[in-house]
Amino acid sequence: MPKFTLPKEEYISKGHSGCAGCGATLLARHVLKGLGPRTIINAPACCWSVVQGVWPRAALKVPVIDHAFECTGAVSSGIRAALDIKGIEDVTVVGFAGDGGTVDIGLQALSGAIDRRTDFIYVMYDNEAYMNTGIQRSGCTPLYAWTNTTPGGSSCACNESPKKRIMEMLIENGISYGATVSIAYPEDIVAKVKKAKNIRGTKFIHALSSCPPGWKISPAKSVEVARLATQTGVFPLYEYEDGAFAMSKDIKSRPVEDYLMVQGRYKHLTKEMIAEIQRAVDAGYEALKAKCGKGAGSAV
Amino acid sequence: MLDLMTANAAAAKAAMLARVEVIAAYPITPQTSISEKLAEMCANNELRAKYIKVESEHSAMAALIGASFIGARTFTATSSQGLALMHEMLFWAAGARRPIVMPVVSRALGPPWNIWTDHMDVMGERDTGWLQFFCENNQETLDMILMAYRIAEDRDIMLPAMVIEDGFILSHTFEKVDVPAIEEVDFYLHPFNPDVKVNLNKPRRYGSLVMPDWAMEFRYNNALAMERAKKKVVEAGTAFKKAFGRDYGGLLEEYRCEDAEVALVIVGSAAGTAKVSADRMRERGKKVGVLKLRAFRPFPSDELLAVGKRVGTIGVFDRSYTYGQGGAIFGEVRNALFPLAGQVRTKGYIGGLGGRDVTENDFEKIFEDLLAISSGGKAGKEIEWVALKDGSLRW
């Protein structure tokens, strides 16, 4: 008999409009498995505006309020305020937004929600570019990644700026809980959102969500590539709570090349570029490990 | 109870009387004292509401859309640049059919920087799908906010509403205001109970992606709701008169227009000044009247057409300018009167921009100009800028 490690309940119907191998769709599936039916989602313009399906059909089995691009933090504050004044305490409010809608255009509203200590979970599904509009660079696009607005050419080498350190910014802003998750580790997603649900204040979940069309990978490799991101230390899984960090999976064991070179968006990388990325990943991982060890324990 | 207060205080009082449940506001002159007053009321438990101190007007509107979907009565207030920043979410509130009520303390948009009143801000939002009501004085500001909730939240309407009070002229000027008892207001305005709101037992998606095969029908439903609002504005006014004794005359108030030879269409605080001028002219035997437009959205085309059949010359005073057609109201009035083209003469007057004072003398000149046109004189320019500092211009 197989042992079920995930809740059996499904809150996303078959027939959604996600691309084959869509990381963000897998993410929502597991986030909702962790949170259950007493959840209200609000989502800005992003892939999920489409993934949910076209009116009058809707793929999710929880209420969803759609809204404009930059207001996930504000709409979340509004929903929570209304639930509070109505005396409804057992509902989890979730803002579910892409990386561009979070670290770029939605950063102000998110910061305001954190300032107000709005009690909600903000899930950023990070596919590292504006994918819904056809792969343009966002503040989450990694160094040297190809996108349609960082195509590279004779004068520049694709994306020349490093990925925004959003978790660090939001920790300084005042989140009560922060965690990175990956679609390659669904038990970790479920455990972390369950934990976040029971913490007051603004909780930020940074989820690496592979995007086959945007990353130029086969849909069949979506989970595998996401797993490589953690195994190479490019996207370590950790938690932050009450000033302390905890490593969830200390499994960095492979060179970044293993992760980068399976993706078409990195195929132009030179040996020097790979070495530069390796140095940055090593330094970031060591800095994170130095912060971890004492303090909050892992959810998993 | 009679009290002395500014229109901003009256607006805050109205929000309290309406028992608003979620407020989201951001400071901007000359609106700020509304949000300050409400913060004070919440801090002292005079009002049991959640007050979200947002970080922008855009977020204020976004937060209220979220709150309204849960079923809370919502309130914010803004002016000028703040309203412009909200623009995207104004469309969203109307499209999502959330009956948010928002006083707009009208103010010019920069540059040049200017904090004083004109209607460029609200006219810039006339196509967002909001109901738009103009107030002449502080009493009407309080009363209109209560009426606005009743109209906006009607299940046949479900559209957001702006209640427009002129910056400083009303917002910071003390006037006598009769404040109704909250129990009387409870009788007039029932708790917000929308049929469309989030239900966790029947999960739905609000604000879905709609393909071209159905998108037009959504927009058409908004158009129908706006049309239905015409009747609801009148009904809300009639019920208001019955409950509180004050009558504002529905969408369009006719002032001394019964036998008028000329009439001037006007909105907001300047309507009071125009009425005084009309009284003076009447004392001199001049048959002039004032058409105070209370609702700009929905626009009372039928009512104007009815007046046009009796009054042969109609002027329009605009506190805004629409590039290409003069004043925003002028364009719409002329449009409404088109079936009477050739019978009714129209002329637009632009004035009071950026807080420029508009005096009784200005209106007397306008009335004289209209009377001259009425008795066969030349209309001159179709659009006249009133009281410009330039000797070569007419006024």
Angle CA(B74)–CA(B15)–CA(B229) in degrees, nearest 5?
65
Hey, do B2-244 and B252-385 end up sharing a CATH topology, with the first three levels equal?
yes
The answer to whether the CB of A105 falls within 8 A of the CB of A140 is no
Helix (H, G, I), strand (E, B) or coil at A153: coil
Confidence of residue A296 (pLDDT cuts 50, 70, 90): very low
Are A82 and B210 a contacting pair at CB < 8 A?
Answer: no
Residue ranges of the domains in chain B?
2-244, 252-385
CA distance A78 to A90: 16
Strand partners, B289: B263
ipTM for this model: 0.96
Q: What is the pLDDT of residue B232?
A: 98
Sort out which chain A residues have CB atoms less than 8 A from B66's CB and list them: 42, 65, 67, 74-79, 82
Task: Calculate what percentage of chain B has a pLDDT beyond 90.
Answer: 95
Size of interface A-B (CB pairs under 8 A): 152
B186 pLDDT higher than 80: yes
CB contact under 8 Å between B63 and A74, yes or no, is yes
| A299 pLDDT higher than 70 | no
pLDDT band of A4, cuts 50, 70, 90: confident
Long-range contacts at A156-163 (CB < 8 A, ≥ 24 apart): A157/A268, A157/A273, A158/A268, A162/A280, A163/A128, A163/A139
Nearest to A222 by CA among A179, A263, A271, A171: A263
The SS3 of residue A56 is coil
What pLDDT, in 10s, does the model give residues A43-73?
Answer: 999 999 999 999 999 999 999 999 999 999 9
Residue B361 touches partner A, C-beta closer than 8 Å? no
Confidence of residue B387 (pLDDT cuts 50, 70, 90): confident
* Of the partner residues B50, B60, B63, the one whose CB lies closest to the CB of residue A85: B50
* pLDDT tens per residue across span A164-187: 999 999 999 999 999 999 999 999
- Asked whether residue B389 carries a pLDDT value surpassing 90, the answer given is no
Q: What is the pLDDT of residues B240-295, one digit of tens each?
A: 999 999 999 999 999 999 999 999 999 999 999 999 999 999 999 999 999 999 99
* Residues in A touching B65 (Cβ below 8 Å): 65, 67, 75, 78
Q: Do A55 and B211 touch (CB under 8 A)?
A: yes
Per-residue pLDDT tens over the stretch A125-139: 999 999 999 999 999
User: In terms of DSSP H, where are the helices of A142-237?
Assistant: 166-173, 186-197, 212-215, 222-231
Mutation for testing the A interface, residue in B19, B48, B51, B55 having most A CBs under 10 Å = B55
CATH of domain B252-385: 3.40.50.920
Sign of CA dihedral B203, A61, A190, A28: negative
- For the sheet containing B295-297, what is the strand order? B50-53, B22-25, B74-75, B101-106, B161-166, B131-134, B295-297
Looking at residue A294, its pLDDT comes to: 53
The residue behind tokens 């897998």 is A26
Q: β-strand A92-98 against A64-66: which pairing, if any? A: unpaired
- Interchain proximity B70–A83, CB inside 8 Å: yes
Q: Which chain A residue has its CA at the smallest distance from B90's CA?
A: A68
pLDDT band at A85; cut points 50, 70, 90 = very high
| pLDDT value of position B381 | 82
pLDDT exceeds cutoff 50 at A238: yes
Q: Which pTM value belongs to this model?
A: 0.97
Contact between A55 and B205 using a beta-carbon 8 Å cutoff: yes
Report how far residue B265's alpha carbon sits from residue B193's, in angstroms, rounded to the nearest whole number: 37
Which residue in B has a C-alpha nearest to residue A106's C-alpha?
A: B59
pLDDT higher at B376 or A209: A209
Instruction: Out of B60, B88, B200, name the one closest to residue A63 (CB).
Output: B200
Q: What CATH number labels B2-244?
A: 3.40.50.970
- Burial (CB < 10 A; 0-12, 13-18, 19+), residue B133, is buried
Per the CB < 8 Å rule, is A77 touching B203?
no
Instruction: Reply yes or no on whether the pLDDT at A91 is more than 90.
Output: yes
**Inter-chain touch A82–B207, beta carbons under 8 Å:** no
| CA A133-A61-A72 angle, 5° bins | 45
Residue A295 banded pLDDT, cuts 50, 70, 90: very low
**Interval B167-180: pLDDT, tens:** 999 999 999 999 99
Ordered domains of chain A (ranges, CATH): 23-291 (3.40.50.970)
